Structure 1
Amino acid sequence: MNVHIIPAALSAAALVLALAVPLGAEESYHVETISFPPTVVPEIGGLGFTSEGELVVAMRRFGILMAKPTADPAAFPWRAFSSDLLHNICGLQVVSKRELIVSSMDELTRITDGDGDGIADSYQTICSAWGMSGNYHETNTIAPDGSGGWWMAIGTASHNGSVFTNTRGEFSPIGRRGRNFSAVPWKGWIAHIDAKGAFTPWAKGFRAPNGIAVGPDGKLWVTDNQGDWRGASPLFHIQKDHFYGHPSSLVWEPAFAATGQDPLMLPVAEIEAMRTPAAVEFPEGFMCNSPSEPIFDQTGGRFGPFAGQMIVGDVAGTRLLRVMLEEVDGVMQGACVHFVTHGLRAGNNRLIFSPDGATLFTGQTVRGWGAPSESLQRVTFTGTVPFEVKTMSLRKDGFAFTFTKPVDRTAAADPTCWKLSKYHFGNTHNYGSPPLDTMALSAGAIVVAPDGLSATVAVVGLETGRIVQVDLDPRVKSADGATLEHPQLCYKVNRLRP
């Protein structure tokens, strides 16, 4: 067979030229939109790179394309690795240029190019141990476990879609109830699949877990989406056999199923007592509306001053976020803040760093939940360090902050420049929650380091189970007069410093 090449000239002529956001106030990160052939609707469900430097793009309803990135965002030489329509790809692992692993709604699949002509010719089912109801919302995404197997996040079904008469796997009439439901096995679960395809249910209580990742230290992380039993969109640290709050999945927990109870009839207080809290919560509206794939910056500074931190996309917002995690008294928690908020489209669904670490690609799709935003963009660090809060960490008496550049010490030492509040979100059958029990907090003693790169802020009234929101006044600038680009942070307090 011959390699199917899609001419770059055709794609450039047939599509709108790439959007290149001019370097301006936020010149630290430059955003460009990548062109695709005119026959492709890039509803992107997976991104990866081969060891040869080709970008791999798996699409939910088209197939899989590959191209080596070029300086011109309109000239990527796309070629089709697979034109077969798989069932809503939402997860991808690139093993090599001849072998890919994808998760679709119905199975985990190994796709290979056996004869080396650049086109897939073998599709092997690795695992299909979960049920299928036919509902559009039951998507799955994966993360390699580092030992030849995979972690899989399995979404629930939605009341906005139907359930087929014939389902795969046992049908649970009790599990069918509710806004987001688990009518067939393992919907709303995190599972482990080993290298031989053996399926092990791992943790339960999820709604729409659209992102999963293993951190540099081996910890497993999952994002979920606001809705029923989700007052705000959470980021969870996953631990075996833990329950993460959405009750519908309990119908597939053998011990619970043996009781014959309807999980939606459990008292809210009982569900809360079982729930493992989120490490971070993203307040709806101003922070993040639909968190997607998390990725850790392991570029060693080639992508800017935030090495080691987590980056999360927003499917329902035109932004990327940073997450600053820490362990306090044996429990993970931390802060979130906007990261890139200019030049991006909505639908930021999947993320991958370029091999050189200087560029982050964001694959976009909104899955019909908003104005079409099906695209691929790349965000490149220009070498100009932005003025940002670099880290936020809990202390016994308040918080410690570091900055990417020296801060104006006079403004940073002024308590009126630090507006703080605390609140929490309710988790019930209602869709989402407004902030509850909001209380203002006061900044006490502030100590700014002589070099201006850090500050400690004493805060009275901290308590567990609350988000502390920090809004820095515009007077807080860098020592050389730069504006703080993202002055609003939210820290989730699960534990206080002992």
Structure 2
Amino acid sequence: MKTLSLFQFTAVTSFWFTALAGSQVALAAASASEAAAAPPYQVQEIQMPKGIAPEIGGLGFTPSGKLVVLTRRSGILTAVPTPDPAQMQWTRFSDQSLHNGNGLFVVSDREMLVSQMPELTRVIDHDGDGIADEYRTEASFNLSGAYHEVTAGPVPDGAGGFYIALNTASHSGFTFEHTRGRFSEVSRRGRNFASVEHRGWVMHWDVKTGLTPWAKGFRSPNGIQCGPDGAIWVTDNQGDFRTTNPLYHVRQGLFYGHPSSLVWDPEYIKNEPKRDPLKQPMAELDAMRTPAAVLFPYGFSRSPAEPLFDLTGGKFGPFAGQMLVADAAAPRIIRVMLEEVDGVRQGACVDFYSNNGLRNGSNRMAFSPDGTELYVGQTMREWAGAMEGLQRIKFNGGRVFEVLGMHLVKDGFEIEFTQPVDVGSGDKPESFSTETYWYEYSSSYGGPETRAQMTKPSAVRWSADRRKVALVYPQMMAQRVMRLTFSGLKSEAQPLAHSIAAYTINKLAK
């Protein structure tokens, strides 16, 4: 056996200690890099009990922190959330198979309001054993028998009342010989129709006045929400008289474009009881309607469902106060950046989360009481893809590089980012490729982007902190969507997470 000299031994051990130290430094650097690159949002799967059809129609939380899940066919379930979703223990608050429940408001640990196809129901646990004892009808909804006559809401009005959105019927369903509510032969025509009273309306209900019509002109409003300022927001779905998927700022008495519901407006039929809105010239209907606050590009949102405002105060990331919109036909949640221009609500949309474990069919959403998790309930629709179940998106913290705000100014946009943008990144107009187009109001089922043109800003001006950029355009026009594609923007070498934003211009900034 060969013996090493002291010099040789010292050299060898020095080499291995250096190599070991280097490996530890490299591992530490790799770990730090992985931590830095770890996504800020993570999808977690939540298993529902066996025997439950996991088609989610409503989500909410009780004051004590229990998750409440309304299913469309398997009653109401509750569970206390746990860090490991596999450990959640479920109980049946109601084992009644409700009639396609698609809206939930949690009043207390022992009381809930549920919208089913035929009615608004108050579900009460009187004795406190965790199981409902009473199902009280608060309001009845008219029905023709068509599968499409679902509901959205109830959402509170802030004064003890609630808003509920009622879908029209579909030509691919059928109408019963005996309907609930008054029937109109005039409004039985069309691809989507309102043959019974107040289909295609947003309704208001409270204990004193009961159910009253509030706004009209909706096709398939599968999402309704009351904003922090009391404004009512409704999503609708592409189809006849809907060239693409819209988000509406809804105000009392106004008409939102789908004409079938007009036969139930006393003012509309006052001088002609059998007036047929489908025979009215499109130009006249167009002049009557209130346009959408945001027109979602069809590739952005295939079937918008419930909108939800982020009121977590920053606990779910940097988007406090903004709106998230579920998509029932794509593995995607959209983020909406709203503002008021010349007295009109409008704004931009951008992807918030897509794919990466999120399923199709997202229908209803609710934030956890601590604000760090977004619960997402999916439901199956044949045309949207056979997806259903319950998931949650957890905010893990970390660095988020996104478009934070998009504000219309007189000569273009001021765009704000969540992080400073690197010097030399986004300094040229080519980094902000822009397409302008519009969706024409039409009776056809969906429609193309029209009057499309490519452009780019004529000037790019960054703020000193590189958090904001002013984009100046040669021309700004109302009744246009401007879709921006951000190319090559980086922050500390991190690319922008979502690189396309689309702003709907109804009014120009003055």
**What's the TM-score once normalised by structure 1's chain length?**
0.93
Answer yes or no: is 1:61 the counterpart of 2:70: no
Shift of 1:23: 8.9
Q: Which residue of 131, 149, 154 maps to 1:138?
A: 149
Listed one character per residue, the Cα deviations across residues 325-359 of structure 1 (whole Å, up to 9, x for unaligned) are: 00000000000000011220011100100000000
Q: Which residue of 314, 327, 333 maps to 2:346?
A: 333
- For residues 222 and 38 of structure 2, the distance between their equivalents in structure 1, rounded to whole angstroms, comes to 28
Equivalent residue of 2:143, what SS?
A: coil
Q: RMSD of aligned C-alpha atoms?
A: 1.3
- For residues 254 and 196 of structure 1, the distance between their equivalents in structure 2, rounded to whole angstroms, comes to 22
Answer yes or no: is 1:233 the counterpart of 2:245: yes
Give 1:442's aligned amino acid.
Answer: K
Partner of 1:294: 307
- For residues 169 and 200 of structure 1, the distance between their equivalents in structure 2, rounded to whole angstroms, comes to 14
Answer yes or no: is 1:438 the counterpart of 2:452: yes
Shift of 1:25: 5.8
Equivalent residue of 1:250, what SS?
A: helix
Shift of 1:257: 2.2
- For residues 84 and 307 of structure 2, the distance between their equivalents in structure 1, rounded to whole angstroms, comes to 27
Partner of 2:403: 389
Give 1:448's aligned amino acid.
Answer: W
Partner of 2:49: 37
Contact 2:214-2:252 within 8 A present in 1 as well? yes
Give 1:137's aligned amino acid.
Answer: H
- For residues 36 and 351 of structure 2, the distance between their equivalents in structure 1, rounded to whole angstroms, comes to 18
Shift of 1:147: 1.5
- For residues 239 and 175 of structure 2, the distance between their equivalents in structure 1, rounded to whole angstroms, comes to 20
Q: Which residue of 94, 98, 108 maps to 1:96?
A: 108
**What's the TM-score once normalised by structure 2's chain length?**
0.91
Unaligned runs of 5+ in 2: 1-33
Aligned residues: 473
Moved >3 Å (runs of 4+): 22-26
- For residues 95 and 225 of structure 1, the distance between their equivalents in structure 2, rounded to whole angstroms, comes to 29
- Mean Cα displacement is larger for which, 434-443 or 184-193? 434-443
Partner of 2:357: 343
Give 2:80's aligned amino acid.
Answer: K
Give 2:149's aligned amino acid.
Answer: E
Contact 1:63-1:86 within 8 A present in 2 as well? yes
- For residues 26 and 314 of structure 1, the distance between their equivalents in structure 2, rounded to whole angstroms, comes to 25
Give 1:141's aligned amino acid.
Answer: A
The sequence identity of aligned pairs, in percent, is: 50
Equivalent residue of 1:272, what SS?
A: helix
Give 2:340's aligned amino acid.
Answer: E
- For residues 373 and 74 of structure 1, the distance between their equivalents in structure 2, rounded to whole angstroms, comes to 20
Q: Which residue of 72, 76, 82 maps to 1:70?
A: 82
Unaligned runs of 5+ in 1: 1-21
Partner of 1:457: 471
Partner of 1:85: 97
Partner of 2:4: none
Change (3 A) 1:61 1:407: same
Q: Which residue of 226, 235, 239 maps to 1:214?
A: 226
Shift of 1:461: 2.2
Give 2:152's aligned amino acid.
Answer: T
Q: Which residue of 413, 422, 425 maps to 1:399?
A: 413
Contact 2:329-2:385 within 8 A present in 1 as well? no
Answer yes or no: is 1:468 the counterpart of 2:478: no
Shift of 1:175: 0.7
Change (3 A) 1:71 1:197: farther
Q: By percentage of residues, which structure has more helix? A: 2
- Mean Cα displacement is larger for which, 294-303 or 190-199? 190-199
Contact 1:345-1:373 within 8 A present in 2 as well? yes
- For residues 325 and 239 of structure 2, the distance between their equivalents in structure 1, rounded to whole angstroms, comes to 19
Contact 2:330-2:384 within 8 A present in 1 as well? no
Q: For the pair shown, which has the larger CA radius of gyration, 1 or 2?
A: 2
Q: Which residue of 163, 176, 198 maps to 2:188?
A: 176
Listed one character per residue, the Cα deviations across residues 354-401 of structure 1 (whole Å, up to 9, x for unaligned) are: 000000001101333233211111001111132111110101010001
